[in-house]
Amino acid sequence: MTDIPNTTQAPSATHPHPLVEMKNISISFGGIHAVDDASVDLYPGEVVALLGHNGAGKSTLIKVLSGAYRRDEGDILINGEPAEIRNPRDAKKFGIETIYQTLAVADNVDAAANLYLGRELRTKWGTLDDVAMEASTREVMGRLNPNFRRFKEPVKALSGGQRQSVAIARAILFDARILIMDEPTAALGPQETAQVGDLIKQLKREGIGIFLISHDIHDVFDLADRVFVMKNGKVVGHARTGDVTKDEVLGMIILGKVPPGAVPGPGAMKVA
Ligand SMILES: Nc1ncnc2c1ncn2[C@@H]1O[C@H](COP(=O)(O)OP(=O)(O)OP(=O)(O)O)[C@@H](O)[C@H]1O
Ligand SMILES: [Mg+2]
């Protein structure tokens, strides 16, 4: 069993429990260990990047948290309490929302309709309360993306970054406390990527914990408070971004080599 040594000074000083602890998670598909004894944690207002090459097991690990996959082994704790997450509905109950690269937005309707899709507000006469839905959409979107003005347009007319902010606003409206973003900028240009970065900083200020998954360190290093690196289903190690360089993290991703500023995990390269 591997426990995560507590190297986080700032968040752990103010929060007695991590928002999320995934401990010794394993999951296989037909004999292939997609995730093998992986442990990660996340504090409120923290951005934790999950890095690793294609096929390292990042999405699979996070799908255990979002309820898309059932783990074979390991424990999940939310706010220090054991959490049984059997399906996406369970995950939502714990305030866990996932934003996938392939955004689940409805293209032909506007931002408000997207935010309230499947949980529309109604007037006392049973008709759709468009006024209330648009007002709260403007409130939430205004917090996330103050420059957004395109409330009356179908979402398909928006830029990638703007669509991303609609998807995030929808999660916020669901009272997300834990946001999982799987390759959120993979399909975006540099300007839109910067916009998503601004959104993430705003979510941090609201105390939301964010798992940011990427196979490109350059997209996430500056945004992340800590990084966890996975390789062949195992956690190579984790570190505060202030304690390691980008090159050192690349060494973890490529070689499994853990630098002095990082904490080794079960997947660390063994030094002879
Ligand atoms: N549903 C599944 N059935 C069988 N194998 C799977 C399934 N999901 C994932 N795998 C395997 O598990 C391993 C980890 O995949 P995963 O998608 O978690 O990687 P990743 O780190 O997210 O990679 P990427 O950067 O490409 O998104 C891979 O070998 C993959 O083929
Ligand atoms: Mg993936």
List, for residues 125-139, the tens digit of each pLDDT value. Answer: 999 999 999 999 998
The reply to whether 65 and 198 lie within a common domain is yes
The reply to whether 128 and 187 lie within a common domain is no
Average pLDDT, stretch 164-185? Answer: 86
What residues are neighbours of ligand 2 (ion), with CB under 5 Å? Answer: 59
Measured from the CB, is residue 215 less than 6 Å from ligand 1?
yes
The reply to whether 189 and 81 lie within a common domain is yes
Measured from the CB, is residue 151 less than 6 Å from ligand 1?
no
Is 101 within the bounds of a domain?
A: no
pLDDT band at 6 (very low <50, low <70, confident <90, very high): very low
- pLDDT on residue 122: 94
The reply to whether 181 and 246 lie within a common domain is yes
Ligand nearest to the CA of 58: 1
Last residue of a domain, one of 142, 174, 206: 174
Average pLDDT, stretch 144-172? Answer: 85
Q: How far apart are CA 21 and CA 79, in angstroms?
A: 8
Atom of ligand 1 nearest to the CA of 52: 21
Measured from the CB, is residue 52 less than 6 Å from ligand 1?
yes
The reply to whether 125 and 31 lie within a common domain is no
CB neighbour class for 136 (10 Å; exposed up to 12, middle 13-18, buried from 19)? middle
Query: What value does the mean pLDDT of the chain take?
Result: 88
Average pLDDT, stretch 2-14? Answer: 50
The CATH number of residue 24's host domain is: 3.40.50.300
The reply to whether 90 and 113 lie within a common domain is no
Last residue of a domain, one of 174, 194, 223: 174
**Residue nearest atom 4 in ligand 1 by C-alpha distance:** 29
Atom of ligand 1 nearest to the CA of 215: 25
Last residue of a domain, one of 131, 149, 174: 174
Share of the chain above pLDDT 70, in %: 92
Between the CA of 50 and the centroid of ligand 2 the distance, in Å, is 10
Is 167 within the bounds of a domain?
A: yes
Measured from the CB, is residue 55 less than 6 Å from ligand 1?
yes
Is 272 within the bounds of a domain?
A: no
Tens of pLDDT along 93-119?
999 998 876 666 788 889 999 889 888
The reply to whether 165 and 185 lie within a common domain is no
Ligand nearest to the CA of 61: 1
- pLDDT on residue 1: 45
The reply to whether 87 and 183 lie within a common domain is yes
Is 169 within the bounds of a domain?
A: yes
**Residue nearest atom 3 in ligand 1 by C-alpha distance:** 29
Is 19 within the bounds of a domain?
A: yes
**Residue nearest atom 28 in ligand 1 by C-alpha distance:** 55
Domain count, the chain: 2
The reply to whether 124 and 256 lie within a common domain is no
The reply to whether 146 and 204 lie within a common domain is no
pLDDT band at 14 (very low <50, low <70, confident <90, very high): low
Is 122 within the bounds of a domain?
A: yes
The reply to whether 240 and 255 lie within a common domain is yes
Q: How far apart are CA 257 and CA 250, in angstroms?
A: 9
Is 103 within the bounds of a domain?
A: no
Is 269 within the bounds of a domain?
A: no
For ligand 1, mutation pick of 28, 58, 234 (most atoms within 8 Å of CB): 58
Note down the domain range covering 257: 4-95+177-264
The reply to whether 147 and 90 lie within a common domain is no
